[in-house]
Amino acid sequence: MKDREIFSGLRVAPPIFVRVDGRGFGKAISNLGFKKPYDEDFAAAMVDSTIVFFKQSGFDPIFAYLFSDEVSFYFTHLPFNGRVEKIDSIIPSFFASTLTIRLELSAPVSFDSRIIPVAPTQVADYLKCRQDEAWNNHVISYGYYTLLKHGFSPRDTVDKLNHMKHCDIHELTFQNGVNLGETPLWQRRGLMVYRSPLVEELQVTDLEHPEIAVDDESPTKNMHHRAHRALVDDWGLPLFKTEEGRDLIEHLIEPDYSL
């Protein structure tokens, strides 16, 4: 029956984004007491799970952009010769199990996964698109929970929001004490995890005579530079459509960034 595995030979070439998106979270995390519509502890759990993915999954993403229960990983190198079945199954399953452990969940959660092939010149457009979705999610979420507090049923709330413009939702939340332009940046713009180069200077003594101390004034002093890549979780992102945002993206994807 091996010949029935008709998708096993399907492959993708980098660069790509792999976006994982949670499903069934409502029941699984309902007893954890997270605030609505946003909870910093849940966001931290998503970030922590993303960092674990960088360190332990065996994949090597350049960066990840996340908001809510969605994470987009950007890859320029792929294991398994780019086999789609492997990529689309291992990444969401690893992330789901990591988040389950991090939150100590008693009910299962799952993530779906999709692969988005891009050219390097399209990375910024993809991130702008997802950041726009993060903003839309931000507006709708605050509007949704504001209406629930006013006694609307979930179904009526969705129906009402479907007939409201963003400016109307802004006014609704503002009249109820929330200025959507002043909420925390991570709620409006999302977060990123990426590798940032660090350089650590190590003083190296005379290799032939290691017992001899080398002081700062010694003409034989030799400084050795060792490159490291530290993981950074960025909770204060710029808008990707601005010059600052474009500069950040270009810095992350430049060819020598990982050296």
Q: Chunk the chain into consecutive blocks of 10 residues (it has 259) and report each block's average pLDDT, rounded to whole numbers.
A: 86 97 82 91 97 96 97 96 96 97 92 97 97 98 95 94 94 96 97 77 42 43 49 97 96 66
Residue 251 confidence (pLDDT): 93
Residue 196 confidence (pLDDT): 82
Fold of 2-143: Alpha-Beta Plaits (3.30.70)
Residue 2 confidence (pLDDT): 81
CA distance 38 to 40: 7
CA distance 178 to 174: 5
Residue 258 confidence (pLDDT): 44
CA distance 200 to 234: 22
In DSSP terms, 75 is beta-bridged to: 16
Contact by Cβ (8 Å): 230, 198: yes
The structure's pTM equals 0.85
